[in-house]
Amino acid sequence: MLTNKFSKITNAKDLLFLAFSYFFVLNNLLSNEIYYVQSPKAKLLVAPKIDSQGATLNIGSSLKKVSESGLFYQVRYGEKTGFVSKLFISAFPPGKQIKLGTTHSSNEQALGRQRASDFTKTAAARGLSETEKLRLRGASSDFDFDSVRWLENIGQASVEQSLDNVQVIDESKNSSFFDFSSNPLPSETKAEVKMGRILAAKLIQKYGLVKNEEFTIYLNNLGQSIAQITSRQDLSFRFGILDSSEINAFACPGGFIFLTRAAVENTKNESELVGILSHEISHVVLNHHGEIATDNAFLEIISSLLATPSIEIVSTASLTALEAYEEEFYEKGRDIETEYEADESAVQLMVQLGYLPHNFIKYIENLSKIPNENSILKTHPSTSQRVNKIENILKSMGSISDLKNSDEAYIQAKKSL
């Protein structure tokens, strides 16, 4: 019987059918999207609403996506089905965090310059400059990487400082089965940060960075307290102030967030600032910048060879992508739906952190009252539409408690600006 059956399927047609069947089954299995819990705030909710009932999910738990409902995924977790906010989960398992702001000795800087000049000579000799044009920092006045590094180092200082008043959670106790720190950093994250740094350097070159340590440290503490409840634990978020009298805010991929000086000055309390920061962080967390192509192998090798603080490489491929980003983000604005989505998720983040989202509404409302203020309107939907949308979200929620009513740190830091 058995041998008979085997002999039956050995003909080519049957084998092909079998192969196709397996492929179909395998493909189906793979298309089940798996997400991993990244935030201590993640819950398996009974309804797609941030304030609905639900059990807390452990960091690292894997969830199978069933369907999508606005800012929520319906997921299966073991035998259970429920909803989870997109802000708290990621397609990657928890792992390492990208490190920014390393300090190098002047010796290394000299070595970097030497390598760079050797490289340009070699590249010229091989005719590489024609095919793989690379721009080296210093040769171009379009980018201010020095200021990006200033901001990266400020961020580091603020993390150390904030450890004093932040409860340190021991991940190993939370999740006994996995050692997340051994998971490698996804190459997508590296590409995203690389692109974000270039955009940051370009923005800073255009507007100038306000190098006020006191306020920047305060801003980074505040921003990082928001970012650390999101799914982007692989990023080291940095928050900077651009020297501009136009009210605006920008989110670069990789977690480089900028507020203009006027935007900061226009805030009246910490909650309003948290609203703006949460909106911009959401653009990064919800991947509104889309997929970023990783550099080709050649550029990877060159970049690693030249990776010292005195040298930053901006490839022509990056430059092309950069132009597209600039136009979309800073000139004509993002897609209107992504703006509403960022507003809605800002509300989610504010509620989770105990800030009143009503303050965010007030800030947006105030923008419309400022005469001749149209910079933010160039890149964001009309203020009345935004306010309406947020008010509708708040109406569907229960009472929200204001847990952060002290503005002492905010007032103190703002004085220095």
Shortest CB 85 distance to Zn ion, Å: 18
Nearer to Zn ion, 109 or 338 (CB): 338
Backbone angles phi, psi at 314, to 5 degrees: -120, 110
Nearer to Zn ion, 342 or 387 (CB): 342
Shortest CB 294 distance to Zn ion, Å: 26
Q: How far apart are CA 180 and CA 172, in angstroms?
A: 9
Are 74 and 274 contacting, i.e. CB atoms less than 8 angstroms apart? no
Nearer to Zn ion, 71 or 154 (CB): 71
Number of residues that bind Zn ion (CB under 5 A): 2
Nearer to Zn ion, 77 or 330 (CB): 330
Nearer to Zn ion, 118 or 365 (CB): 365
Q: How far apart are CA 184 and CA 93, in angstroms?
A: 10
Distance of CA 177 to the CA centre of its chain: 27
Shortest CB 283 distance to Zn ion, Å: 6
HSE of 196 in the Cβ direction (CA atoms, 13 Å)? 31
Question: Whose structure tokens read 């600032």?
Answer: 273
Which residues inside 326-345 make contact with Zn ion, applying CB under 5 A? 339, 342
Which residues inside 238-257 make contact with Zn ion, applying CB under 5 A? none
Nearer to Zn ion, 143 or 329 (CB): 329
Please state at what angle helix 336-353 crosses helix 270-285, rounded to 10 degrees. 120
The tokens for 356 are 């009143």
Nearer to Zn ion, 202 or 334 (CB): 334
Which residues inside 337-396 make contact with Zn ion, applying CB under 5 A? 339, 342
Q: How far apart are CA 58 and CA 77, in angstroms?
A: 11
Shortest CB 380 distance to Zn ion, Å: 6
Nearer to Zn ion, 114 or 388 (CB): 388
Which H or E element spans position 257? strand 256-260
Give the count of beta carbons closer than 10 Å to the beta carbon of residue 126: 11
Q: Where does residue 146 rank: exposed (0-12), middle (13-18), buried (19+ CB within 10 A)?
A: middle
Nearer to Zn ion, 226 or 342 (CB): 342
Q: Report the C-alpha dihedral over residues 40, 37, 259, 202, rounded to 10 degrees.
A: 140
Shortest CB 332 distance to Zn ion, Å: 13
Shortest CB 343 distance to Zn ion, Å: 8
Shortest CB 362 distance to Zn ion, Å: 18
Q: Which residues contact 392 (CB under 8 A, 6 or more apart)?
A: none
Q: How far apart are CA 222 and CA 201, in angstroms?
A: 22
Cα end-to-end distance, the chain, whole Å? 86
Shortest CB 390 distance to Zn ion, Å: 13
Shortest CB 74 distance to Zn ion, Å: 26
- Per DSSP, 35 falls in state E
Binding residues for Zn ion (CB under 5 A)? 339, 342
